[in-house]
């Protein structure tokens, strides 16, 4: 059992499957007239974002509100952080205000682990530097399972800027835990040092790998994190590693195309691929809300009193009780 979600490595197969199953229950209830649950009524969730974000921040906010939690959105821009306030002082401030959960995105790898030592509430890692993004991996796994019916034995190719990608690291950890076979495809300059110890296969030839895949996931080229020239030109990168219509045709008929967003259309993925029926990119955004609802639901559980429950099997979900 866990009290925070800091890394995909925190999740064993049973716990990860519990999150996915809970998200499935929540998704089934989303079509009902009453979409909100009373589960976290009276609880406070703080979204603490030190980096720009659209999908993740809004997704966590929507998830918490659908569980009837009170939500406080904190952005480093326009706050005391710009005056020099440290992460610790910000954490102590949130602690004094009675935050039950803190969702943090930070440019420094390891910041959520440090924050978890300073606050009593649950801490959820929404992306830390180039380290990890566990809820993105969970929603990606949920999407794969929803589309293809299983995770065990799936052949997943993760293509692109693996070196700077926290999404790739979390997906490798989670998918290998759930029995998928992961192949990383990237230029040699964008493959991390030490990748030989990861539970993956590495390839530099995308065209050779595509016919064997059930899932291909394109990663955004993170130019804002690059301080050197990792490939000759954007055009050359797109030619070697971009997902275009020709490469879409090389995939097995059942295979799906994924991207964590935001996309560089025309670079890592062509517009006709991103908008094709085999693309799950918009579906991933929808699934992200359900998965993050499941994470908050399981971590906080709506229990009353000072003792915060661990991630455990939840009571039956009853959306009809929400008013």
Binding residues for carbamoyl phosphate: 55-56, 105, 133, 136, 261-262
**Residue 180 vs residues 138, 204, 315: alpha-carbon distances, Å:** 13, 20, 29
Backbone angles phi, psi at 90, to 5 degrees: -65, -45
Cβ-count burial 69-94 (b if 16+ within 10 Å, e if not): bbbbebebeeeebeeeeebeebbeeb
Question: Which two structure tokens, joined as six digits, stand for 276?
Answer: 């094709």
* Residues forming a β-bridge with 106: 128
Q: Give 85's DSSP letter.
A: -
Q: Are 66 and 36 spatial neighbours (Cβ–Cβ below 8 Å)? A: yes
Report yes or no: 322 and 36 within 8 Å, Cβ to Cβ. yes
H helices present in the chain, as ranges: 13-29, 55-66, 87-96, 111-116, 134-148, 166-177, 206-209, 234-241, 245-250, 271-274, 281-300
65 burial level (CB within 10 Å; 0-12, 13-18, 19+): middle
Sign of CA dihedral 219, 222, 223, 227: negative
Virtual torsion, Cα 123, 195, 240, 235, nearest 10 deg: 50
* 273 and 279 Cβ atoms separated by less than 8 Å: yes
Of 225, 220, 219, 8, whose CA–CA distance to 112 is shortest? 8
Q: Which segments are annotated as binding site for L-aspartate?
A: 83, 166, 220
Q: Rounded distance, CA 189 to CA 204, Å?
A: 10
The encoded tokens of residue 189 equal: 């300059």
């Amino acid at each position: 059992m866990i009290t925070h979600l800091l890394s995909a490595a925190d999740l064993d197969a049973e716990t990860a499957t519990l999150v996915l199953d809970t998200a499935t229950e929540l998704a089934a209830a989303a079509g009902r007239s009453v979409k909100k649950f009373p589960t976290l009524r009276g609880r406070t969730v703080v979204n603490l974002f030190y980096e720009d974000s659209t999908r993740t921040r809004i997704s966590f906010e929507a998830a918490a509100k659908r569980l009837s939690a009170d939500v406080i959105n904190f952005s480093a821009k326009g706050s005391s952080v710009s005056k020099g306030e440290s992460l610790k002082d910000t954490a102590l401030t949130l602690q004094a205000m009675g935050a039950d959960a803190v969702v943090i995105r930070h440019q420094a790898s390891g910041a959520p682990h440090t924050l978890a030592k300073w606050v009593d509430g649950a801490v959820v890692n929404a992306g830390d530097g180039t380290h990890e993004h566990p809820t993105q991996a969970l929603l990606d796994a949920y999407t794969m399972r929803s589309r293809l019916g299983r995770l065990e034995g799936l052949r997943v190719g993760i293509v692109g800027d693996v070196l700077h990608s926290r999404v790739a690291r979390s997906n490798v950890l989670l998918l290998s835990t759930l029995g998928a076979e992961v192949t990383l495809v990237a230029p040699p300059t964008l493959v991390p040092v030490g990748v030989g110890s990861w539970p993956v296969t590495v390839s530099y030839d995308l065209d050779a790998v595509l016919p064997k895949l059930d899932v291909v996931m394109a990663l955004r080229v993170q130019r804002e994190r690059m301080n050197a020239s990792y490939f000759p030109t954007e055009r050359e990168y797109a030619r070697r590693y971009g997902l275009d219509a020709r490469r879409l045709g090389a995939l097995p008929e059942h295979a799906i195309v994924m991207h964590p967003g935001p996309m560089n259309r025309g670079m890592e993925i062509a517009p006709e691929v991103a908008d094709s029926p085999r693309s799950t990119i918009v579906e991933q955004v929808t699934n992200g809300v359900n998965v993050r609802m499941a994470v908050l639901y399981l971590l906080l559980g709506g229990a009353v009193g000072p003792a915060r429950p661990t991630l455990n099997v939840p009571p039956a979900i009853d959306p009809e009780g929400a008013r």
